Amino acid sequence: MIKFQNITKTYKPNIKALDDVTFEVQAKEFVCLVGRSGAGKTTLLKLLMAEECPTSGRVFFKNQDVNKIKQQELPLLRRKIGAIFQDYRLLPFKTVFENIAYALEVIGASDVEIKRDVADVLTIVGLSNRANNFPAQLSGGEKQRVAIARALIHRPEVILADEPTGNLDPYHTSDIIKLLLKINEFGTTVILATHNKEIINSLGKRVITLEAGKLIRDEEKGRFVI
Amino acid sequence: MPIVLKRIFRASWKSFLREGGSAAANIFILVMAISAITSLLLFKNVSNFLIEAIQEKVDVSVYFKYETAEEDILKIKDEIAAIPEVKAVEYVSKDKALTDFTARHQDEPVLMESVEEVGINPFLASLNVKAFTANQYEAVSNFLNNTKYSDVIEKVDYHQRKPIIDRIYNLTSNLNKAGIVFSIILVIVAFLVAFNTIRLAIYNSREEIKIQRLVGASNWFVRGPFLMQGIISGFFATLICLVLFALICWGLDSKVAYLFPDLSIFKFFVSSFWLILLIQIASAVIISTLSSLIATRRYLRV
């Protein structure tokens, strides 16, 4: 379903974020990307979203070269992906409800669907009482949960989770991981980038380890080893 | 499509209300820009009035020989009136010339006595010819000098008045040229100021635009609210501007009328209300939407 083929990404002036990385992710798989900060985890996810272009190599999503997709057709790719960003990336002038609803609005969902689904997902992430608050009025953990809710709401084919539990307490961390596992059970591919050792070791899923931009390990039912 | 439009409108109205400071700044700048454009319209009206008033005072007189019959003069009058450059022709008979002279100089006994001493009416019948513009008098004069009636024409006083006519022609044409250049500069300045203010506001939203694109919004779904916000700001700016100019024209009307009794800027404002409204709303909407369109373009490349 997703294929990174000999990906190298160099940032100016000469910082190599990824160095000849190649791997594939099958549909319905749960893959953990691990590595130290700066290992290239976020860069990989950005390349899949076509937020950035690789310096060399190709990224495929369902046999389609992501970097050959025209600018006006990119939304169609992104609607198939739910992204949970490390820095939340919430819309500052929209309420929690509106931020989550936005992902449904762009795909043309009806107002009734939006009202129903957003209420459901807010209950799942425990933010029903925060629906009318703005991001600036939320804690880091709450913002993270809004970002998660927005990534899930439109039932994407793939979820890219970049440090989704970075700002959560252990109680919410466990809930979110359970939620990602449940979504995966229902058939959604999940790529989880994290450096949380406990989560990785408890999951028993495929683990891809990156170090200084290189893929150094790819194990089925792997563990956090750096 | 209607649901998308509804969402774009709803989103833009909410942003307009929530980002009050930025919206107010945009409206203020748009008021400045469309005020400049409206001022030009009013200035054009006043300058046209003044140019016309000056040109009204210019004419060319054709004097006929003493013995020329009135019916011949009236025949020539009809022929002159048919020249395309001629705006009006007025016949002044010998008697009318005398009456006018007497009325004008009745307090000057020396002049009046001299006329009486001549014994007969010494004035010649004449035609006062007015052209549409000052530069057309040359053509009128040439026609009169080369007409078959030149044997009954005593003189055409164009050459005596030529320097003043040329000066007026230069003055009015320079005024027009200066007005056009000034208008173009002012419109460009107004547009650039408004464009930069809106561009700055959108620059502040660049991260927001990026997020919207990454969530899967199409270019128009992202751009729509910015354009719509521009239209809403333009609408409010037009309303403010209309009220402002109504008050200014009303307040200045009596002062302008004191200087130029035939000129009423408030009357002009009222009679041109729909034109002014159209110009204001069109310029506000064009400036704001064009600025939003250009400014959002670079941030949509995500």
Phi first, then psi: what are they for B139, rounded to 5°?
-65, -40
- Selected for mutation to probe chain B from A76, A80, A106, A152 (highest B CB count within 10 Å) is A106
CB contact under 8 A, B214 and A108: no
B288 within 8 A of B233, measured Cβ to Cβ? yes
- Taking the CA of residue A187 and the nearest CA in chain B, the distance in Å comes to 21
pLDDT at site B266: 87
- Selected for mutation to probe chain B from A105, A143, A150 (highest B CB count within 10 Å) is A105
Residues of B in contact with A94 (CB under 8 A): 14
Q: Is A112 helix (H, G, I), strand (E, B) or coil?
A: helix
Among B139, B158, B171, B176, CA closest to B55: B171
Confirm or reject contact between B216 and chain A (CB < 8 A): yes
Residues of A in contact with B301 (CB under 8 A): 71
Asked if residue A223 has pLDDT above 70, the reply is: yes
| A86-108 tens-digit pLDDT | 888 999 989 999 999 999 999 98
pLDDT at site A56: 94
Q: What mean pLDDT comes out for the span A13-31?
A: 92
CA separation for the pair B144, B97 (Å, rounded): 21
Confirm or reject contact between A136 and chain B (CB < 8 A): no
CA angle B36, B38, B43 (to 5 degrees): 90
pLDDT at site A29: 94
Q: Please give the average pLDDT of every successive group of 10 residues along chain B, which has 302 residues.
A: 83 87 86 85 78 74 85 85 85 88 84 80 87 77 75 77 72 78 82 83 87 91 89 91 91 82 83 90 87 85 77
Confirm or reject contact between A83 and chain B (CB < 8 A): yes
**Across the interface, which of B3, B219, B302 has its CB nearest the CB of A51?**
B302
CA separation for the pair A98, B211 (Å, rounded): 14
| A134-183 tens-digit pLDDT | 999 998 888 988 999 999 999 999 999 998 887 778 877 888 888 889 88
Of A209 and B177, the one with more pLDDT: A209
Confirm or reject contact between A198 and chain B (CB < 8 A): no
Return the structure tokens found at A168: 């959560």
CA separation for the pair B178, B172 (Å, rounded): 10
Confirm or reject contact between B18 and chain A (CB < 8 A): yes
The predicted complex's ipTM stands at 0.88
Of A2 and B264, the one with more pLDDT: A2
- Selected for mutation to probe chain A from B4, B17, B214 (highest A CB count within 10 Å) is B214
- Selected for mutation to probe chain B from A93, A99, A137, A143 (highest B CB count within 10 Å) is A93
- Strands in B60-64's sheet, in edge-to-edge order, are B86-92, B126-131, B60-64, B153-156
CB contact under 8 A, A75 and B216: yes
Q: How confident is the model at residue A3 (pLDDT cuts 50, 70, 90)?
A: very high
pTM, 2 dp: 0.71
pLDDT more than 70, % of chain A: 100
Q: What mean pLDDT comes out for the span A119-139?
A: 91
**Across the interface, which of B211, B218, B300 has its CB nearest the CB of A89?**
B211
CB contact under 8 A, A72 and B4: no
CA separation for the pair A150, A82 (Å, rounded): 8
The fold adopted by the segment(s) B59-155 is Alpha-Beta Plaits (3.30.70)
Per-domain residue ranges for chain B? 2-54+170-299, 59-155
B89 within 8 A of B77, measured Cβ to Cβ? yes
Among B3, B14, B11, CA closest to B223: B11
CA-nearest residue to A110 within chain B is B3
